[in-house]
Chains A and B, each alone.
Chain A
Amino acid sequence: MKGSEIIIESLKAAGVDTIFGLPGGMVIPLYDALYDSDLRHFLARHEQGAAHMADGYARATGRTGVCIATSGPGATNLTTGIANAYMDSTPMVAITGQAVSPLIGTDAFQEADVTGITEPIVKHSYLIKGAKDIARVFKEAFYIASTGRPGPVVIDIPSDIQLADIEYKPAGRLDLPGYKPTLKGNMKQIRSAADAIAAAERPVVYAGGGVITSGAEKELLALAKLMKIPVTTTLMGLGAFPENNDLSLGMLGMHGTGYANYAVTNCDLLIGVGARFDDRVTGKISTFARHAKKIHIDMDPAEISKNVPVDIPIVGDARDVLGGLVAELKKKKRNPKQTAAWFDQVIAWKQKHPLHYRDLKGSIMPQYVIEEVNKITKSDAILCTDVGQHQMWSCLFYTHIKPRHFISSGGLGTMGFGFPAAIGAKVGRPDMTVIDIAGDGSFQMNIQELATAVCYDIPVVVCILNNGFLGMVRQWQELFWNKRYSDTVISCQPDFAAVAEAYGALGMTITDKKDVGEAISTAIKSKKPAVLDFHVKREENVFPMVPAGKSIDEMIGGHK
């Protein structure tokens, strides 16, 4: 059997049925084998798009996303997507072609040291040296990518190895002596965490993407309800806890809600679950949750006490640990009055500092577009975003209820992520309405994927919040750089609706507030890829905002 055919067999053995990619010289043998296989391959128009599609697919479905690129530039184009998956712990296997084995190291045509280039942004990587290793490497790669704290794994395969003809033997048992993720939490630690929770008067849960990865949303809800603990989530954790529940505080951090930031600042016990105390969450680190004892539940031991020292660390899978906590707490005597004053305080903060914006006559407010999307989809769409102001408004003004329904570039902050991720999400969940909220700046970074969406008839609705600026940077320039809008004004812009139409998608330009809702409904009903270009108020800011280096309770614009 050819090496390339063994790759196909190995992919099937790993349960793969969907791949995103773009061929090139050094993966022709692999694509030749794909030609005869029943795997679905989606041809992206740029390798970065393919990587983000695999990422969006993985986040929407919980399965491992797979992308393919050729050697050299194909592989380097994947790197942003790989780095993005790494920062947000997305399970992904990226397959790259490589120059033929004898030419490696000679600066051959389209040769790049892919394992070297990607080394800091992968969970693991392989350069396959012989066809006999293919089956084993693929088995290991999918196991590593999808278990423990998930992440991207790169497999670099010289084209001569794809062509080699050997006898196919399926991979044997995994032998990874250096890789043993801890799934079960230490019982002693769980008990001491339960004691701390039972004793707390002002507890807060701070939940991140790890809750979604482990599928721990039921356990989280059970814990919050049992002990009446308010829950705030990170950007990556949106959907891990239903925001229509009284106990929800929404998102915390730099653009978090006022009430979430006040609650975290004033709590006496912070329970971090599957979150990593990122600087966008903590603000000034020395004052973050300064009165609180801290419990940190995480899959990755390296996250424990990395940024903030914690009192009770528990390494393990969030679902297992939260389940264990609930079981322990149920055995205890609980005094419902113990946290009653705290809950009242949280409600008072919610009433005093609600999310708000000034609805200016004659303008489409960007927040209003998100509210309309929320209303029309009944908060039950998969919402993808790029990065910037529109992303923060999507976090704040949409009601996030279910896990795997919000897909956004959190750690790396990759502009151009949202649209291809939305395509991947729609491929993985064709039953769902998939909306991509984009900025006029970021949409142009992967606008070419309109061809992919149209070609495969993937009906994603893109809502561009078009303010003619690189809006988030402009906001910083307005607030902290004396309004010197250096290169953030996008003075030359295409007619996005016309571009969409030219690709064969539905395109609409919306300049009047009264047309917003109808445009969204029409686009969803059309079952076609659609681009809605909303001309929104230009110099609108995302508030509340914690300026860089400040404590998260020192917000600006958080007061009505």
Chain B
Amino acid sequence: MNDHERLAVLKTWKLFIKGSFPRSESGRTLPLHNKDGELIAHLSHASRKDLREAIESARGAFPGWSSSTAYLRSQIIYRLAEMLEGRRSELSDALRSTSGVSKKKADTEVSASIDRTVSWAGWCDKFPMVLGSRNPVAGPYHNFSMPEPSGVCVAVQGIAEQHSLLGFMSLVLPPLCTGNAVVAVANTEHPLAALLVAEVAPTADIPPGVLNVITGDAKELAGWIASHRDVDSVHAIADEAIAATLRAGAAENLKRVQILSKDEDFTDTDRWTNPRRLAPFVETKTVWHPSAT
């Protein structure tokens, strides 16, 4: 044995599309720095084509995910929590590496993120009861309304948040648990915890394409997200400029847009496990049938 210190194996952080981990097709990268400004990694810098591929992958996964039973979706998201639990220290280190928060704070955020995942897992087979209804129409008809997923949701972490993991989970879980397929754009200042969630996703049995995670310049991607015709909803935390781009482009095909202000407090558990958070990602479908002959 040589007596020099073992050289660490550095990880190449990649995109997560359709269950695989490709680099950006553009070959572009973004430097990632720690809190002291030292270079610690290079991120894949997603291009317009990467975004398109991610959206296409989500569209392909949507029919299967939305028609799987609520019980199954619930178990898969619960398993995501189980898998994250096993990676607590890795997630905590990831948070600390770029933000420099204390170990205690980072651990608390990881715990909250896992607990949030458990909470949303439980909503999968309950929100239709809470948001749906049997409507007493004035005639001989059986009439009921039920919430259905609107399709492909792009979740954009457009600003560097204080709670990058909790924010990421809070953006992707509501559309996921309602049966939408999600393309998540992780923030490039604190992306590592989100990328670890992507790495965990396949082992949680999340089907390929149901959750895609890309890293890239949110400002650059916003216009492409907004104008993409196969995106049904957008869930974003963003500054004014990105929000304006997303809203204006969304008008083109009437995407459902939910934009959170940059002061959003993701630690507010009541607010962030509330079923009203699901509204932008579901459509109410009302079915009529005669009940008299």
**Chains A and B are bound partners:** no
- List B residues at the A interface (Cβ < 8 Å): none
A residues at B contact (CB < 8 Å): none
